[in-house]
Structures are given as C-alpha cells and as structure tokens.
Amino acid sequence: MLLELRIENLLLIERAELRPGGGLAVITGETGAGKTVLAHALDLLMGGKPRSGIVRPGAREAYVEGVFEPTPELLADPALAELLERIGPELDEIVLARRVGADGRTRALVQGRAASVGDLRALGGRLIAFFGQHEHRRLTLASAQLELLDGFGGARHAELREGLAAVHRRARELEGRLEELREREGSRDRELDLLRFEIDEIESVGPTEAEEADLLAERQRLGRLDALMAAAGAGAEAMAPESGEGGVGALIAESERLAAGVAGVDPPLDELAGRLATLRIEAEDLGGELRRYASSLEAEPGRLEEVETRLDLYDRLRRKHGGTVAAVLAHAEECRAKRDELESVEVELERAAAELSDAEAERGRLAAELTAARGEAGPRLAERVREELGSLALEGAEFEVVLEMREEIGPSGAERVELVLAPNPGVPAAPLREAASGGELSRVMLALMTVAGAGESRTLVFDEVDAGVGGQTARAVGERLRVLGQQHQVLCITHLPQVAAQAESHFRIEKTVDAEPALTTVDSLEGDEVVEELCRMLGAGTGDEAAKQHARDLLAAAA
C-alpha cells in the first residue's frame, strides 16, 4: 500500500505530499491544473521514462518519492530475492525514489541506495497497477485476458501455470541440448580422428618430467666426454700412476717411511706420521676411483644421437601443446576426456531424447489440466462479469470467455483467451477490441477488476478511466471503484462528481496563475471543502444552495 507520495519540482508542482490511506482516494481539479502530473509521478516510481521538460522551470531537478508498506508475498517473491538481499530482507516499509535532472539524466533509488531503473520496475510493478486514460486498451491483448482468467481461477491456475512454465523451460533446454549433440555427432568422426592422433602421438613418446631432466643431463655429459676423460685420467695419474712409480701416493709413502725410522722418539711426530698413512691410503683410493670413472665414460656408439633424437620428440610435443611436459600431459588428459565424451554421444543423445520425451509428456499433461481448469473457470467468470456489467448500466450485455487452441503449447498453456462482448441486445458478439467503445471498455475493465482482482498489486491507480460515462453510469462506476477499495488501495483521477463522492479521501489539484511560473498545489479536503469541490465539479458556484444539496445527497448516498 502507498503510505506517502512526495513530489518536488515536477512540472507545475513545486512541492506536494499525499497520504492517501486505505480504500478509494480521488484526485480532482480543473482541466489543466495538473492532475495527470500525479499519475506521471507514480509512473516514474515504476521505472517509466521521464517526459521531456518535466522539471519545473528554474529548478535543478525533479524528485519523486513513494513510501510503501510491503506485503508478505512481495518479500517472499523469488524473483526479488537478489534485490531484497541488497537492500535488506527485514523491511517495515519500502522507499522508491527517482531524481530527474534538468539535463534529462535520471537516478533511481531504493531504500536510499543507488539502484537501476530495472529495480524500480521490478518493485514498482508489483506494488502499483496503473490504468491510464488509454490503459484499459490492455484488455484487448490476449496475454492480459489470459492473466485475468487465471487470476480469477485462483491458486490452482497459478500452480499449474508455474509448473507448466518450468517444464516448458526444461523442454526448451533439452531441445537445445539435443541440437548441440546432433551437431557434435555430425562432426564426431573427424574430431575423434584428431583426438586419437594427438593421444597416440603423446602416448607413443610417453614423456615424463623426470626423464626429460635425465636426458638433458646425459646430453650435456656426452657432449663433453673427451674433456671429462682427460680430467679424470690426469687426476688418476697424479694420485697413483699405472706404472707404480712416482705420483702423490709414492711421495707420501716415502715420507711415511722416514717418519717410521724415528718412531717413538717424539710423540707429536708419531701422531703426524699416522696422518701421513691415512693420507697415502686416500690418495691411492682416489687415484683408483678416478681411473674407474674414466673407464666408465666410454659411451655406447651412437648414444648421443639417440639422446638427441629423444629430446627432439620432447621438443616437438612441448611446442605443440603448451611449452612444458606438464602442459603436454594435461593436454593428453583433456583429449582423453573429449574422446570419451564423443564416443558416448550416442548414449547422451538417447538419454537427452528420453528426457525430452518425458518433459513433453509432462508439459502436455499440465497443459491439459490447465485447459480443463480454464474451461471450467471461463463460464463462471463470464457470468460474474455479466452481473457486474448490469450494475454498470450495461444491462442485457453479453459477455463470454472463449478459449482458442494454439498450434503449439507455450509457457502459458495450449490456448489463448478471447473476451467476447455484445454491449447491446441484438448486436452480434465480437472480440472486445472490436465491440467496445472507450466508455464500455472502462466499465468492462472495472467489472473484471472487481470480479477477477488485480493480481498481487495492492495499489490500483486509475487515470480518468471513467471518461466517456456520466449520470447513473458514473455513479455505478464510482460504486465499483469503492468496492475495489475494500480489497485494494485505489487512487482515481476523475472529473466526475458521482465518482468523487464515493471516495474515502479526497485531494484537490489547484493551479495558481499569479505565480511565475504557474504553481500547482495539492490539498487534502474534508467536510465542507469536499462539498464545495463537488459543487465545482457539478458546474455550480459555491453559493449555489441547490448544487450544495445535490453534493450532500451524493455523499449521503455513498455513505
């Protein structure tokens, strides 16, 4: 419900505040005073496009703010979950706002935080249902007529539509999956040949990071084999020559012999003599190790070429598949996974086809149930609307709900709805878009709103939808709006006193031309002020006692 509407610098309105309360609230005023500015303000809160030149001359920006009481259904709406999480799920009230700069730029706000126009549409569209001067023409749309029928059908229709929409989406997804699998099946053989070639190429080499490191080390060693042998041979000869004469070992042995000749004379020398023995043994052993190392360096003939050839295979794989052995191995795993997937395409095709068949069967079942439910609800809706039309000065009007089957089942069902009207006895019935005048469409809309409701929106805004009617018909329209006000908050911009007299709250729009630029004000009326405004709407002056009595009679009849 709209708790408060604030407007600043919007067209002729410098500043205005409305607190409409529950039930039916009317907004009246002279033609040109700016009544529709309020409707445009609400449209801005619903994410509507601002009209050019709506900022009051001399002002920097226009500002509109609406404070709403949220419903439990709104807060539980899955489609709003992400938005409500951003603004906080614990909400006692929801504040929507819109700033429109003189340069045409706009800013949307939800709970005082920057938001998108889409956020306003998502929230505003659920909080307000707007019916402009030509908005009743929406009744001529098949989609709107279907929504009305299902709204009248209640929770069962909503449950079936929700289930049908979900299974329809699932069927569409499976159709896309099947198409993708069929395309993949068409190119499967070529892709499989390529994948198998790459897998075989990698597996035939069998690369590992450890082997590559060993091969690189071996190539370096084989490339410097002569230098290694020369270094080892020279070291062996220096330590212990093969001739047995000379070398480091022989020189140490001679020193050891001389020390043995004076053994026991001086203990410190005896200790050093022991170290000479150890050094001689190490020199002889090192010479033998160097000689054995030199002997081991004799490579197999052609080994270097074998190593180079193997490393060339590694190099080619690395260049093709990522630059490292790890990347090559990862590519091989990806190829195996794709190969397995392609080899199972036939199985996937069969599974997807079976799932699609099940989804189509479920879609057909739900659509058939929804068709049956609509077939049962249609005559009941038509009968109730005919009763309402009789109260709206359309006695004898014929109204029917016709179901026309579609070629294919869609997300909303297997049929479209056509509302058929014969406004006068003896006149052939025809679709609503062809049979009804503007005034008749207004009354049909009010009848449908009264009978079928207005969806989840708690606030209904009517912008002169009573145009084209008068007299007793106007009074009947006002009564229907009042009835709607028992279940919804209703705001009605009207020029008819018969409608205004039915209101629980009354606001007057008045334009003052003395100011520069002209200024429009919004006043809440009570008591005698309401009587005076009804007199003006009746075309009488404030001193016309007969008009005042008529106004009081209208108010008394509505009480």
State the burial class of residue 322 (Cβ atoms within 10 Å of its Cβ: 0-12, 13-18, 19+): middle
pLDDT at 362: 95
Summarize the chain as % helix, strand, coil (round to 5). 60, 20, 25
pLDDT, tens digit, 9 for 90 and up, residues 29-86: 887 666 778 888 888 888 888 888 888 888 899 999 999 988 777 777 777 777 777 7
pLDDT at 132: 61
Distance CA 122, CA 271 (A): 100
pLDDT by 10s per residue, the chain, length 559: 889 999 998 888 888 888 988 889 998 888 766 677 888 888 888 888 888 888 888 889 999 999 998 877 777 777 777 777 777 766 788 899 999 998 888 999 988 888 888 888 888 878 887 776 555 556 667 777 888 888 888 889 989 999 999 999 999 999 998 888 777 766 777 787 888 899 998 988 899 999 888 888 878 777 777 677 778 777 877 887 876 677 787 788 878 888 888 888 888 888 888 888 888 888 888 888 888 877 777 666 677 788 888 889 999 999 888 889 999 999 999 998 888 877 777 777 888 889 999 999 999 999 999 999 999 999 999 999 888 888 777 788 888 999 999 989 999 999 999 988 888 877 788 887 776 666 677 778 778 877 876 555 578 888 766 666 667 777 888 888 888 888 888 888 888 898 899 999 999 888 877 766 777 788 889 988 888 888 988 888 777 888 888 888 888 887 7
pLDDT at 436: 61
Distances (CA, A) of 331 to 275, 310, 321: 61, 20, 7
**Taken in order 323, 324, 328, 330, is the CA torsion positive or negative?**
negative
How many Cα neighbours within 13 Å face the side chain of 281? 6
pLDDT at 413: 92
State the burial class of residue 175 (Cβ atoms within 10 Å of its Cβ: 0-12, 13-18, 19+): middle
Q: Say how many Å lie between the first and final Cα of the chain, rounded.
A: 23
3-class state of residue 421 by DSSP:
strand
pLDDT, tens digit, 9 for 90 and up, residues 105-162: 899 998 888 888 888 888 887 888 777 655 555 666 777 788 888 888 888 998 999 9
pLDDT at 455: 54
The kind and range of the H/E element at 239 are: helix 225-239
3-class state of residue 511 by DSSP:
strand
3-class state of residue 533 by DSSP:
helix
* Neighbour tally for 357: CB within 10 Å: 12
Q: Is the pTM above the cut of 0.75?
A: no
pLDDT at 372: 95
Task: Report yes or no: 552 and 543 within 8 Å, Cβ to Cβ.
Answer: no
Q: Among residues 482, 477, 476, which one has the least CA distance to residue 23?
A: 482
Distances (CA, A) of 24 to 129, 426, 528, 532, 533: 14, 36, 19, 19, 17
pLDDT at 300: 65
Q: CA-CA-CA-CA torsion for 290, 295, 297, 303, nearest 10 degrees?
A: -170
pLDDT at 435: 66
Task: Report yes or no: 98 and 112 within 8 Å, Cβ to Cβ.
Answer: no
